[in-house]
Structure 1
């Protein structure tokens, strides 16, 4: 079929129109319909979100002595898709960072875009490696600013301070309990790289600055802590116990001034620590309190007006059969006043004080002293202890519990109970955190003492005088260097 000139022109025009229509449809399809998908692919290849890590807040003692702070380091990372000379990169990086070349080669053999080569590289060492990579025109290795946690006092206060993991999250102690305040808020920025892997600064996208963590100030006094550390080491050396704990607490405020446990560990060498060394035994170990628990029976009887400090009770000359079971004193006592029951630590006298108020009331006072529940101190892992209700008691429990048997308490609970006597009957919640501030000193939170319970002021004052008279009578001795009291009964329990 022969086509004349106008027909050929019309055919050619129609062909061009059809071709341009196809191109136009394809362009609209790519630019409008598939825009987000291809833009995402392009951004994934050239743009990525860089996290700007917030600096973790410091931990300080009550006198602003540093207990935990940060040291700047670099994290060396690799983008395997941008390495231009694989063997040369492996040789140089393995030599500079003391990494076995086989291990590094295995890491870089993948096609991942983010590979952690080594963490906590000192800044000077990282800068030297960066210069050598630039001189050799080697690409694909990058450096991220980071910080490592440093504890300048080593093992001192290890169970109170705690430590962090590689991601700077608190694991134990105050580092864990105050994580929300210490960690801060990370920032970010979107950056774009050129073919050489270098950032194109003018194309830098959205950015949010980080907010550094707050500083946490503890109630602990590092000077007193040092004295306590010396004392506990001396006690461990002399008596060789399996474990030991000292707690120094201000009764009026509940502030923990010092806390030490043995065994302990170095916070800077925590990877070498054994599980038994990492336990804060002041709050996670449960024990029978022994004769220290007699303060509860005496306080209950005095507060309920069943006796007076001068009231005398017959202590059965050292042997009393109650409920079909004998109860002994360490010496034969006849009549003892309430004061002397405490001073001489009479088991029979304490049992009769508890009997004077009855099972239900005695149990009530045990709970009012804070036993059977957590103290609420700002340390993770605290346990309740073990206090059974009267329905679970045997016939003789009322005579055994006053001498510290059939109950389980933590050392911190016992310390808080003793502090109640020194504080005229006010049970104060123990606390180890004093305040939270910004790095420039602005107060974010100031913690004040919390009263958990209250007994009669006058009767508790009399009870406290009796307890202090026990110290003067010779049942306790005073340590010469730290001026701390070591009760003989508790010392003997620690040796067992």
Structure 2
């Protein structure tokens, strides 16, 4: 038999003892722009069983160790026995994935024939909630399900390998026969996020949401020079290390998925359109008396009679009447062109999973009142990221740059959408918003000049607008040579304080000051003005 049937017998023996075993590969690291680890894979053990081996050792089911195994699995003994009997012809079933170190040691001590441990990996996020919405998370099989983990899953995953091994009766490896396919390690991904700035932004946003008993909040910071996202945080957040506690309403990245009417933060773009068309200059006076004016069958109103205002003061005082008159003096195409060029109505091209494109669809034969309300941010919807990108375009002197979640030394692309002269004029106008007499003194910084705009809008409900508010502040700093553009959005603040200058602006001030210092940006505010800023901010809480 051994002589004449050797080839057949060897084949039979090999088929039961020689196996192809997978070689695990390491999922790539995710690091921030300063090489700080944000996500890594750590080794863990998972427990599996060979039901055929267990059934052939029937006495196992009556041992005390089998009862202990059931307790580790959080299963009733009867249910565990039923599972094994149901799968009795199988050679592999998972019992529990990604065990804790203590559980691994315990299972090793039990030494139950037919129960084995297999080396796997689990994703670990050192910063937990702080970067949760940017990073996302992976599933039990280390496949990216949300965020950067999903967007760059292919690069991060690598390619598992295969090796030929000889196993014994209990499927234990007793000999290696060589590698069939080499394993390829996943690529490391370096994000544009600065963990230091991210931590400050997260802390300040969370404190504001709690202080004002708000429903939610978001904050985004963009590098004006490159289009890189330096920080993106949301509230409420979640711990990506705790899959058992994840809830869908916490895991979505509101900064790229949620849309809102931008309110008065859209007014600078109306002013851009008017200046580009040459119908006004910064000092041109517009009559807003008596604080309202009729458009068709509707009224556009200011919060009070502001009287005659220059175009600069229209932004400083946030006059709805003033910007409406500017919009109505423009041809439709000229007015809308600026909004289209800034990217409203389309996503930012960031590649982030689930990103919303906002809403900017103007119906044919739209009314003059719709045009007037659009000039101060009603009738359109944007995401915090879209608004931050638009303000970054202002800060860059009218050059629109693509957004990047990855670290880059230069912009991915550039497009001039309006003149540098107009951008500088509007930035100078927006500086008055955070100075004495403006609507956002609490957004002023001690060491840097700021250009910004507040926004407060009622939330749309069926049939009109309700009593809930959204508040936001969009700003650029330093105003003399912009480096960052930042948007802070607070959803449904409770209590008496619900204006953007009271709720969102302080978050901007606290984060922007620290961010600019961390980026090593030279202060551009004269020393004699610093004491005045400190005094004004104290007076405004």
TM-score by length of 2: 0.76
Q: How much has 1:431 moved relative to structure 2?
A: 2.0
Contact 2:217–2:491 under 8 Å retained in 1: no
Q: How much has 1:233 moved relative to structure 2?
A: 1.9
Give 5+ residue unaligned stretches, structure 1: 1-26, 436-445
Q: Is 1:412 the equivalent of 2:402?
A: no
Structure 1 counterpart SS, 2:204: helix
Structure 2 counterpart SS, 1:326: strand
Equivalent residue in structure 2 for 1:458, among 421, 440, 452: 421
Contact 2:433–2:453 under 8 Å retained in 1: no
Contact 2:215–2:491 under 8 Å retained in 1: no
1:41–1:344 CA distance, 2 compared to 1 (3 A): farther
Q: Is 1:467 the equivalent of 2:430?
A: yes
1:385–1:330 CA distance, 2 compared to 1 (3 A): same
Q: Is 1:248 the equivalent of 2:221?
A: yes
* 2:493 match: 495
* 2:24 match: 53
* 2:53 match: 82
Supply the distance in 1 between the matched residues of 2:214 and 2:334 (Cα, whole angstroms): 37
1:201-240 to structure 2, matched below 5 A, reads: 201=175, 204=177, 206-240=179-213
Supply the distance in 2 between the matched residues of 1:212 and 1:353 (Cα, whole angstroms): 58
Supply the distance in 1 between the matched residues of 2:386 and 2:283 (Cα, whole angstroms): 29
Supply the distance in 2 between the matched residues of 1:359 and 1:39 (Cα, whole angstroms): 84
Structure 2 counterpart SS, 1:495: coil
1:434–1:87 CA distance, 2 compared to 1 (3 A): farther
Q: Is 1:477 the equivalent of 2:441?
A: yes
Q: Is 1:120 the equivalent of 2:84?
A: no
Supply the distance in 2 between the matched residues of 1:140 and 1:493 (Cα, whole angstroms): 55
1:419–1:93 CA distance, 2 compared to 1 (3 A): farther
Structure 1 counterpart SS, 2:137: coil
Supply the distance in 1 between the matched residues of 2:251 and 2:170 (Cα, whole angstroms): 48
* 1:284 match: 257
TM-score by length of 1: 0.82
Q: How much has 1:292 moved relative to structure 2?
A: 0.6
Give 5+ residue unaligned stretches, structure 2: 457-470, 473-489, 495-541
1:488–1:205 CA distance, 2 compared to 1 (3 A): closer
Q: How much has 1:42 moved relative to structure 2?
A: 6.7
**Larger Rg over CA atoms:** 1
Query: C-alpha deviations, 1:97-122, integer Å up to 9, x for none?
Result: 72343343233222211111221124
Moved more, 38-47 or 272-281: 38-47
1:37-186 to structure 2, matched below 5 A, reads: 45-83=16-54, 84-88=56-60, 91-92=64-65, 95=68, 98-99=72-73, 100=75, 101-109=77-85, 110=87, 111-122=89-100, 125-126=103-104, 129-130=107-108, 132-133=110-111, 139-186=113-160
Contact 2:21–2:163 under 8 Å retained in 1: yes
Greater fraction of residues in helix: 1
1:194–1:377 CA distance, 2 compared to 1 (3 A): same
Supply the distance in 1 between the matched residues of 2:410 and 2:30 (Cα, whole angstroms): 15
1:311–1:42 CA distance, 2 compared to 1 (3 A): farther
Supply the distance in 1 between the matched residues of 2:223 and 2:39 (Cα, whole angstroms): 24
Contact 2:430–2:453 under 8 Å retained in 1: no
How many residue pairs align between the two structures?
450
Contact 1:108–1:115 under 8 Å retained in 2: no
Q: How much has 1:209 moved relative to structure 2?
A: 2.3
Q: How much has 1:185 moved relative to structure 2?
A: 0.9
Supply the distance in 2 between the matched residues of 1:196 and 1:189 (Cα, whole angstroms): 18
Contact 1:254–1:428 under 8 Å retained in 2: yes
Supply the distance in 2 between the matched residues of 1:220 and 1:95 (Cα, whole angstroms): 46
Supply the distance in 2 between the matched residues of 1:389 and 1:316 (Cα, whole angstroms): 29
1:482–1:231 CA distance, 2 compared to 1 (3 A): farther
Compute the RMSD of aligned alpha carbons: 3.0
Query: C-alpha deviations, 1:353-390, integer Å up to 9, x for none?
Result: 22232212222211111100000124211111111135
Q: Is 1:335 the equivalent of 2:308?
A: yes
1:73–1:93 CA distance, 2 compared to 1 (3 A): farther
Structure 2 counterpart SS, 1:384: coil
